[in-house]
Amino acid sequence: MKVEKRLFAYSVIALMIGVASIVPLTFMMSETAKAETDAPQFNVEVPYAYICRGTSLVPSNLETQSEMIEVQTVSHALVLNFTLIADAETAYCDARIEYYIIYIYSDKGYIGNLTESVGVSYNSSFQMPNFSFSRENWFDTGLSSGGGMFYYTWTTGKSHATKTSGGGTNWVSNFGEPEMITISVRRLGWITFNGDSIVVTLANGEEIASVQLEKFGNGFLYNNLLSEDQLSKIDLLNPPY
């Protein structure tokens, strides 16, 4: 396997990545964008978000599971809308996957975070290899809460939406009832596939989308997706998108 070396302006960074593929691949890492192929290739919007308190039954003893008790939880439904802003001529690569972290916090304190990924192929002959990447203070390709999206065909300017939902710990037990909740989306980094190489790039971590949820019924809502009439007829934790 041929090993390539890339010199960086400030430092040489070691790559920690595990890959299983039928073809040999060369791996490089970059901390800063140095070429057009290193530019983000998706825009992100948050058209809908709903978070509410609820209850769930859990075993009082995980070993025996003899008794179920009711605990307070936080449930969420979040719709993310991704728009492709690059094409095969400007992307200069065979495929790209970008990774994001979604912070959820209130005026009273931090609630939690989610992760998501989205990818596209620009080359009709490209086949996704079996790969994984994880590095502290970078990102982990195995931790996408929503499972991630990857499209082998995606028209520039077209959008695709994904919904993530689930539950977590009760915010009231941590800091009391909030007045407002904020969702902040930040880009963690991306992986670029080109020929026999994979380049892992760390993003600058700046906020790329943010919405504020206000009190609505038993929870908190941000809605730029549905009409008021539609809202009254749906399960807010399972919106159509």
Which residues, listed in sequence order, are joined to residue 28 by a DSSP beta bridge? 199
Please state, as a whole number, how many other Cβ atoms lie within 10 Å of the Cβ of residue 35.
10
pLDDT at 62: 63
Distance CA 189, CA 125 (A): 25
- In tens, the pLDDT along 95-131 reads 999 999 999 988 888 888 889 999 999 999 999 888 8
pLDDT at 217: 86
Q: Where are the domains of the chain?
A: 41-191+202-231
Distance CA 168, CA 2 (A): 46
Distance CA 207, CA 187 (A): 7
- Higher-scoring residue by pLDDT: 144, 226: 226
- In tens, the pLDDT along 17-40 reads 323 222 334 556 665 434 445 789
* Average predicted confidence (pLDDT) for the chain: 79
